[in-house]
Structure 1
């Protein structure tokens, strides 16, 4: 596999996680000839300084199945086989500076068994770690367009990206096909081929605590379980200056809006709600326009739904009610009345799909969660697409 290459189609598995790796040999009529052998090949016997995010690899011959167990200072360690069957992965980060014993038991179809064990010691705590973020809140209800977003505090070199990707587990119930995309050297996304089915449970684990990412290590694992809510779509048509809000295919409301004026147009594209805030301070100085200038402002804006990192929101704009449905007067945001914005805010989930059509500009790649701007074949790319680093977290919005 080429450096930076992402995996192909991924079937997101449902159900419970197994605790044993099983390797299935080709079927045969008679018991296989020759003795059963088994060995733990990685980590090597007696290895020290092993990552706290290891993959246990084994070799068995003459066997129909092989099972792997791992024990440590606290007793048995839960884990599961990697989907490709090539290794066994612990369900949580291992302890630093601890000794573990891996055991593989090979069983031939006629019942003959053999067992092999191997011990290794994990690395001590490293001072060269970096944090990470998982843009999912445990127990959250999300929209059908919600991507799984893993953000790392440092860039990952090409040769280490596949290892990172292998350590991010996405399971859904019911199962759905999905794939991966590196939007930058520090931001890995996963999305289904088509929007999630309403009611889907998604379990995500980024098992990157202690993972070597090229001379630096992940600080800790990240995990969350979320549920997909109803299929809600918000479609903004610049031609009519209206937003159509639908739920499970039924139109709930049509809302007059005002978009970005010609000098600061709104971005067209297939977007998702990234963030909800009952109020935010919008400050023009965050994008270089002094507050005391003719086009400057610093004001509190209510019922905000973020669409882009650059600062495009859907929000209440009582000052432009007379323009809504008629003309564009905003700095790039989607303006609506306070009544409509309050109603939409209470309805919306992060991950709800928002389509903006007919404006003068297209949304920039990676300016927000632009996963649905790409066809699925393009989404499953080789290497990352260019994208600047995320803006300072204190930057609230560049538009109004």
Structure 2
């Protein structure tokens, strides 16, 4: 097993959220509950702002605007700062709460106006004025990373993969998950799944993304305090595209890889997998990283006489533990017949070069028949679970129709030094 540097997620570009068509605001600095006069046969329409409360100070820059409505629904929210700048944002689909499209500014006064409407066209408004915290808290930062880069194209198995350093405590995961937003076009439902110590959380639909899907992702965490005493200081965003469907299947019995594009076989190639003392991992894996040239170095892991430091071409990472698909000219005679690697999928130079030119980060790789199963979280492993297993690790309730989806789901909006093995 070799040491290849684990790449960290980059900070992705912030993108503006399109503002809603919002009602006007004609006064500031007070909270009110107003009712539209109903006709004798209609219930009254009332609306009140529940958060932030009127004249609140020290409000986190992650604040959302909460409302309570009777006799109607929230139609719009208008949030304006003390310089008259309108803050864009959107209502949550599941309830009368409005989320700013970006963190609020420190030490600023804001006025929110909530407009509710009844089915018969009556409207009512309520407002509140509050002030955000004067400055960023003096607290350790909660690290986060998003393994999507704005404008890139990914394979159909690409999960929305988020990393936290340190892991998010169990008691905070529901609140954090509520601030993780994914919109897919065309709409495909999905669920967040927490891994172990909370250092990783994945989002995926029940089946692979449709080719051509657009994903808009926001980690709206800036301003959140966690129970571990840390403070989330950064919002992250990415808008990406899902490319064509390409799948790789590796069979230890035949020692061959089959490559399919859009369901059709385009190439088969002999492979050599991990020998019995260092077996390759079976399961559904995902290409995590592509390196045209790198160095595998096992000098800190293997005893003298077994360790090596070797330059490798066309390496495609499958696990954090150091399993790759890569060119292995030294094992060409073994490929298709016997396993001689330290856990990687060895292929010949020509096949490795061709495959490297075909794949995207996010393409699925299914390995079958080896002596070891992939450990959950050792790479982007959410596809290695059944859907019912997967949804159990959401920190928020999953709607019954989505929880029981298994294979068929009706589309709907979802807002919601290198180490390696040879």
CA contact (8 A) 2:20 2:90 kept: yes
| Partner in structure 1 of residue 355 of structure 2 | 344
CA contact (8 A) 1:258 1:326 kept: yes
2:172 aligned with 1:163: no
State the secondary structure of the residue aligned to 2:277: coil
The alpha carbon displacement at 1:114 in A equals 3.0
Structure 2 CA distance for partners of 1:314 and 1:30, relative to 1, 3 Å: farther
State the secondary structure of the residue aligned to 2:168: coil
More divergent stretch after superposition (74-83 vs 302-311): 74-83
State the secondary structure of the residue aligned to 2:57: coil
Equivalent pairs counted in the alignment come to 366
State the secondary structure of the residue aligned to 1:285: coil
The alpha carbon displacement at 1:223 in A equals 0.8
State the secondary structure of the residue aligned to 1:209: coil
Alpha-carbon displacement from aligned partner over 1:113-153 (angstroms, at most 9, x marks no partner): 33221111222212322221000011111111110011112
Give the Cα separation in 2 of the matches to 1:303 and 1:74.
54
State the secondary structure of the residue aligned to 1:114: strand
TM-score by length of 2: 0.82
The alpha carbon displacement at 1:21 in A equals 9.2
Q: How does 1:1-400 map to 2 (within 5 A)?
A: 19=20, 32-34=42-44, 36-63=45-72, 65-72=74-81, 73=83, 75-123=85-133, 124-128=135-139, 129-184=141-196, 185-214=198-227, 215-286=229-300, 288-290=301-303, 293-382=304-393, 396-397=419-420, 399-400=421-422
| Partner in structure 2 of residue 25 of structure 1 | none
Structure 2 CA distance for partners of 1:111 and 1:365, relative to 1, 3 Å: closer
CA contact (8 A) 2:19 2:87 kept: no
CA contact (8 A) 1:242 1:325 kept: yes
RMSD, aligned α-carbons: 2.2
Give the Cα separation in 2 of the matches to 1:377 and 1:181.
11
Give the Cα separation in 1 of the matches to 2:336 and 2:361.
25
State the secondary structure of the residue aligned to 2:115: strand
Structure 2 CA distance for partners of 1:30 and 1:177, relative to 1, 3 Å: farther
Give the Cα separation in 2 of the matches to 1:168 and 1:21.
24
Give the Cα separation in 2 of the matches to 1:138 and 1:382.
27
Alpha-carbon displacement from aligned partner over 1:245-269 (angstroms, at most 9, x marks no partner): 1100111110111111111111111
Structure 2 CA distance for partners of 1:240 and 1:229, relative to 1, 3 Å: same
Give the Cα separation in 2 of the matches to 1:335 and 1:379.
30
CA contact (8 A) 1:60 1:66 kept: no
Give the Cα separation in 2 of the matches to 1:64 and 1:144.
38
Give the Cα separation in 2 of the matches to 1:308 and 1:110.
57
The alpha carbon displacement at 1:271 in A equals 0.5
Greater RCO structure (CA 8 Å; 6+ sep): 2
TM-score by length of 1: 0.86
Alpha-carbon displacement from aligned partner over 1:25-65 (angstroms, at most 9, x marks no partner): xxx9986233x432211111111222211221012234455
| Partner in structure 1 of residue 13 of structure 2 | none
Structure 2: unaligned runs, 5 residues or longer? 1-16, 24-37, 396-416
State the secondary structure of the residue aligned to 2:208: coil
| Partner in structure 2 of residue 12 of structure 1 | none
Give the Cα separation in 2 of the matches to 1:221 and 1:141.
22
